């Protein structure tokens, strides 16, 4: 994706570390919902890291299906009735689930956009179609044309998604700074504040990575 190896490697390390953190959280004896959510976050980070290096291009449809399903799962949690306390509870929890659903959907769009860059790259085009004289005339013009017309609309989403995720990164950074208190509190209180700060830092880094990756596609 990037022409500068240092940026590609930096993003890869960040995504893999974030995915490893979520895998460790998923292995802890939390509620089943928390384990599923952390597993989905780990999968998303791993898929995004693989996307940077164009790994497993033959599994693109499966990747999109998994990310789209994860987005739907987080949206379901966000709009679930209050009686289901194992799902997102409270306004903050619902907003967090909505954002996570949006992030999963954004990752699915990113995979689709990467696929469009690959299939419309220098190796694909009219020469590829002319190399198969036995292909049906109708399919060679209608089906690829329809697919290309659909995919060509996706790059227009790159700029607004870059802005949204950049804004999200700034919001999480502001929350991280706001929750930073002097170390005069009791040990128990400090421990209680450590987890939200870690989550805000993780979310800020993830949103910044998403914004940077979408910016390269704008």
| pLDDT exceeds cutoff 80 at 130 | no
What's the pLDDT tens digit per position in 135-174? Answer: 444 434 443 443 344 445 566 889 999 999 999 999 999 9
Which of 96, 111, 97 is CA-nearest to residue 66?
A: 111
Express each pLDDT in 55-76 by its tens digit: 888 899 999 999 999 999 999 9
pTM over 0.85: no
pLDDT at 206: 94
When the pLDDT of each residue in the chain is averaged and rounded to a whole number, the result is: 79
| Of 160, 157, 170, residue with least CA distance to 204 | 170
**Helix spans in the chain (H):** 5-27, 32-52, 60-79, 90-119, 126-130, 137-151, 158-178, 187-215
> φ, ψ for residue 10 (rounded to 5)?
-60, -45
pLDDT at 123 over 90: no
What does the pLDDT read at residue 147?
A: 39
Written as six digits, the tokens of 213 are 């990756």
DSSP 8-state code for residue 152 = T
**pLDDT score, position 27:** 92
First to last CA, the chain: 12
Residue 217's CB is within 10 A of a number of other CB atoms, namely: 19
Residues 6 or more apart whose Cβ sits within 8 Å of residue 61: none
Q: What is the mean pLDDT of residues 78-87?
A: 76
Quick one: tokens of 90? 């409270």
pLDDT reading at 127 higher than 60: no
| Residue 113 pLDDT exceeds 50 | yes
Radius of gyration of the chain (CA): 20
């Amino acid at each position: 994706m990037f022409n500068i190896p240092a940026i590609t490697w930096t993003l890869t390390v960040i995504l893999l570390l974030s995915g490893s953190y979520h895998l460790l959280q998923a292995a802890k004896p939390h509620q089943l919902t928390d384990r599923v959510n952390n597993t989905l976050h780990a999968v998303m980070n791993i898929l995004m890291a693989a996307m940077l290096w164009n790994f497993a291009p033959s599994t693109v449809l499966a990747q999109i299906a998994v990310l789209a399903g994860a987005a739907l799962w987080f949206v379901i949690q966000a709009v679930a009735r209050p009686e289901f306390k194992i799902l997102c509870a409270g306004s903050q929890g619902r907003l967090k689930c909505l954002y996570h659903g949006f992030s999963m959907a954004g990752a699915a769009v990113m995979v689709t956009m990467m696929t469009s860059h690959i299939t419309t790259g220098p190796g694909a085009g009219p020469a590829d179609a002319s190399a198969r004289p036995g292909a049906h005339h109708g399919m060679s013009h209608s089906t690829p044309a329809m697919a290309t017309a659909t995919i060509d609309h996706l790059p227009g989403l790159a700029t607004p998604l870059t802005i949204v995720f950049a804004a999200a990164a700034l919001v999480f950074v502001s929350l991280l700074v706001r929750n930073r208190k002097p170390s005069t509190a009791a040990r128990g209180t400090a421990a209680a504040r450590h987890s939200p700060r870690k989550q805000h830092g993780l979310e800020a880094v993830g949103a910044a990575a998403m914004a940077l990756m979408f910016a390269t596609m704008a």
